[in-house]
Amino acid sequence: MTVRYTRDHEYISVDGETGAVGITDYAQSQLGDVVYVELPELGRVLRKGQEAAVVESVKAASDIFAPVSGEVVAVNPHLEAAPGTVNEDASGRGWFFKIRIADPRELAELMNADEYASYVVSVS
């Protein structure tokens, strides 16, 4: 499984032709307690960089952008009832949606874990 990151602090955990998308641990720590998550509709086709979801915390609301283009093939059914899962396990049980990747070459434009770690240090 490969994980790639965006400058907007989203991750995509790639498994074959699909990827689970969520926000990074750094992003959830900056947001504070997550109180609401708005997920995309199943079957929605997203372009890379397009607004896909919304996360609201006690501090702010933030858009979640599609890290790659593709079709939404699953949404996390637990987040509506338990949005705090994003704070507890952002890169695991706190994923937002899964996308069928339309163009795997777009993944190469995203950061790997080491590049993302350096990026976080530079913006902190």
Kindly report whether the global pTM for this prediction surpasses the value 0.85. Answer: yes
Within a domain: 48: yes
- Domain hosting 76: range is 2-103
Within a domain: 22: yes
Within a domain: 116: no
Residue 17: phi and psi, rounded to 5, are -90, 0
- Tens digits of residue pLDDT in 56-106: 999 999 999 999 999 999 999 999 899 999 999 999 999 999 999 999 999
Within a domain: 51: yes
Within a domain: 108: no
Residue 19: phi and psi, rounded to 5, are -145, 140
Q: What is the mean pLDDT of residues 2-26?
A: 97
Residue 101: phi and psi, rounded to 5, are -70, 120
Q: How many separate domains does the chain show?
A: 1
Within a domain: 85: yes
Residues 106 and 97: their CA atoms lie apart, in Å, by: 18
